[in-house]
Structure 1
Amino acid sequence: MSLPDRFRDVAHLEDVMSQPSAALVADLRRAPGDLMVLGVGGKMGPTLARMARRADPSRRVIGVARFSQPGLRQELQAHGIECIEADLLSRDALAALPDAPNIVFMAGRKFGSTGSEWLTWAMNAHVPALVAERFARSRIVAFSTACVYPFVDTTGNGAPESLPPTAPSGEYANSCVARERLFEHFSHQFATPGRLLRLSYAIDMRYGVLHDVAQKVLRREPIDLAMGHANVIWQGDANDWALRSLAHCHMPTSPLNISGPKVAIRHVAQELGQRLGIAPVLQGQEAPTAWLVDCSEAFRLFGPPSVGLATMLDWTADWAARGGASLGKPTHYEARDGRY
């Protein structure tokens, strides 16, 4: 895949993020049939659904969401994606959805969790149980998070899938452990094959760790180094790997870490500052632990990420310098208390 030097606009960005690889086209042949994306209206859902459609234009791709964002439904339909408006908290709405042998579950709640923890638990634990029952005969690839792990030593390779998701910090992380456990329970009960994708920080020019750091550099705001390391992956690669996971489902379902190599926030800030011509304001010292994941199994299955850190930094600096669009949703990557 040929990578651009920069993104002209949002349409160009989303086109590149939804471009399928030849490996994805091949892997999807091993997971035939309709594909349904539950929670298609989130940050990654639209480009993932478009990628699935482009990888196999003959396949029915269905996107399910509340579609509260104006114009999103029409935009997805223009790209050949069938859209169904539904509240996933409703058993009746789930029952009315068509059957599909391939389910990508992207629904969930993170931001705004503090103060309405009840809704966070409903979305992250109750909805997965409802979905797992409704689509017991499907393959289910469900998005999870690296936040289910405890902090690990920053000098190591990160948390492997074999590390139990013990003692996570905060209500959000605990609700995500519940999401995984409920998918596991129903996978055991119904012999449903699946994967639990423990994603760490997908990078979109409008959102993500690199976007957040670049905005702080531009505004000359202090950059807290306490959470000094993170894993990041280009969103196009994350979309590609998530869809390819449909061909690598296990019974019972099992976790798979999805991200790129570890990066240092200090290095990211300095590199972005150099590209933007602004010295970053660094504050504090790196803690000896962070949320980090070992992605060697994903690399074995899918190969290394197609987009490296240097390219993502180039793209981010260019986008930020030109005042490119932002989703206005900070990742809060620096939070060490699990409060979102």
Structure 2
Amino acid sequence: MSTVITPSTTPAHAPADEAELDELLSRPLPGVGEALAALEGDIVLLGAGGKIGPTMSLMARRALDEVGSDARVIAVSRFSDPASRTLLEDAGIVVHPADLTRSESYADLPDAAGMFYLAAMKFGTTGLEHQTWWSNAAMPALVADRYRGVPSLVYSTGNVYPLSPLGTGGSTEADEPAPVGEYAQSCLARERLFSYASHTWDTPVSIFRLNYACELRYGVIADIATKIAAGEPVDVTMPAVNVAWQGDINAWALRSIELAGTPPRILNATGPETVSVRRLAHWLGEEMGIAPKIVGEESPDALLNDAAEIHELYGYPSVPLRRLVRWVGQWVGGGGRQLGKATKFQQREGKF
């Protein structure tokens, strides 16, 4: 059995390479295996070839192995990156290539006892609004129809909330959505479609509103570190963010399927701190030995998420914020690879 990650067991220094990084990101936290085994059957992850899907799939496989379950983990994606497919296959995960934008792909999708929906379009949505709505609203309708009655964990985003005044602590699950821009609007449409499935077909659903997952190759902290390393200015107009280690996000998402219900259960997912973008830049600059260039003036509000409910359920992140910042600074400062998928967290008008 692998070592559980806790604040006292995570290393002080960043992982040495991507293999070590992926091992940390996919190391199961307590309760993950039990939650998945309770489904009593295979699980399928749709959109498993993206930023989060590979390590989430790996964690699911490792967690099921730890509790002695032979349920299959099935990863569905176009797998445009062959390396992701190889990584998953080598770990014993069943790979099912499929293009979910094509309706003819759905008849062949595997049956499952639990479904995790990760597919979405965010980057490059401005100018391609038609693709955005197809990916974020039409595809969920096809998926919800295919997996009627199957417990489902649906990834969403904190972008469905409006900007919050800095002193309020961020939006809670009880707050009404007020999405800004077509990306966020299409994400709320995705939620509504799965809610329709929950009410109409008794599909147990859990909606996972995330912002922001961070690892060393992408995420808000890596975005800031990359700018500092390149000598580019860091804009602090978006004054603050919430972030959490992607390994914790993986574990919380996998466990959250146990909360799926009718009507859907909504959970915010992020770290407990409201952290200043300026402070992140200075912490990273200290770690990298580069004085950050700051531009802009802090606005009085930001896209902020209050995730107190998920912390009460599953605990605080196993990798504390300051350590995560240190890891990112060491990784980026040492020339570690980036995925080239900026979060665009600075965007205040919802245009991605």
Matching of residue 175 in structure 1 with residue 186 in structure 2: yes
What CA distance in whole angstroms lies between the structure 1 residues aligned with 2:175 and 2:351? 23
What CA distance in whole angstroms lies between the structure 2 residues aligned with 1:250 and 1:296? 20
Equivalent residues of 1:101, 1:137 under 8 A apart? no
Matched residue, 1:48: 56
Deviating more after overlay: 71-80 vs 303-312: 71-80
Aligned-pair CA distance for 1:169: 1.6
Matched residue, 1:189: 200
Aligned counterpart for 1:255 among listed residues 266, 281, 294: 266
Q: In the TM superposition, what are the counterparts of 1:78-227 in structure 2 within 5 Å?
A: 78-166=90-178, 168-227=179-238
What CA distance in whole angstroms lies between the structure 2 residues aligned with 1:85 and 1:45? 14
Matching of residue 35 in structure 1 with residue 43 in structure 2: yes
What CA distance in whole angstroms lies between the structure 1 residues aligned with 2:299 and 2:163? 10
Partner deviation per Cα, 1:300-339 (whole Å, 9 max, x = no partner):
1111111111110110111011100000111111111111
Matched residue, 1:296: 308
Deviating more after overlay: 89-98 vs 304-313: 89-98
Aligned-pair CA distance for 1:90: 3.0
Aligned-pair CA distance for 1:30: 2.9
Partner deviation per Cα, 1:23-51 (whole Å, 9 max, x = no partner):
22233333321110000010000000000
Q: Which one-letter code corresponds to 1:15 in the other structure?
A: E
Equivalent residues of 2:166, 2:302 under 8 A apart? yes
Equivalent residues of 1:139, 1:193 under 8 A apart? yes
Matched residue, 1:239: 250
- Secondary structure of the 2:96 match is strand
Equivalent residues of 2:180, 2:349 under 8 A apart? yes
Equivalent residues of 2:140, 2:193 under 8 A apart? yes
Partner deviation per Cα, 1:190-249 (whole Å, 9 max, x = no partner):
011111110001111010010011111122211111101111010000000000001111
- Secondary structure of the 1:92 match is helix
Q: Which one-letter code corresponds to 2:20 in the other structure?
A: H
What CA distance in whole angstroms lies between the structure 2 residues aligned with 1:308 and 1:176? 29
Aligned-pair CA distance for 1:74: 2.1
What CA distance in whole angstroms lies between the structure 1 residues aligned with 2:244 and 2:328? 13
**TM-score for the superposition, normalised by structure 1:** 0.97
Deviating more after overlay: 191-200 vs 67-76: 67-76
Return structure 1 stretches of 4+ with deviation > 4 angstroms. Answer: none
RMSD of aligned alpha carbons: 1.1
Q: Which one-letter code corresponds to 1:326 in the other structure?
A: Q
Equivalent residues of 2:259, 2:265 under 8 A apart? no
What CA distance in whole angstroms lies between the structure 1 residues aligned with 2:83 and 2:30? 30
What CA distance in whole angstroms lies between the structure 2 residues aligned with 1:189 and 1:295? 29
Equivalent residues of 1:234, 1:312 under 8 A apart? yes
Q: Which one-letter code corresponds to 1:3 in the other structure?
A: T
Matching of residue 9 in structure 1 with residue 20 in structure 2: no
- Secondary structure of the 2:153 match is strand
- Secondary structure of the 1:53 match is helix
Equivalent residues of 1:66, 1:87 under 8 A apart? yes
Equivalent residues of 2:37, 2:71 under 8 A apart? no
Matching of residue 280 in structure 1 with residue 287 in structure 2: no
**TM-score for the superposition, normalised by structure 2:** 0.94
Q: What runs of 5+ residues in structure 1 fail to find an aligned partner? A: none
Q: What runs of 5+ residues in structure 2 fail to find an aligned partner? A: none
What CA distance in whole angstroms lies between the structure 2 residues aligned with 1:276 and 1:66? 37
What CA distance in whole angstroms lies between the structure 1 residues aligned with 2:74 and 2:137? 23
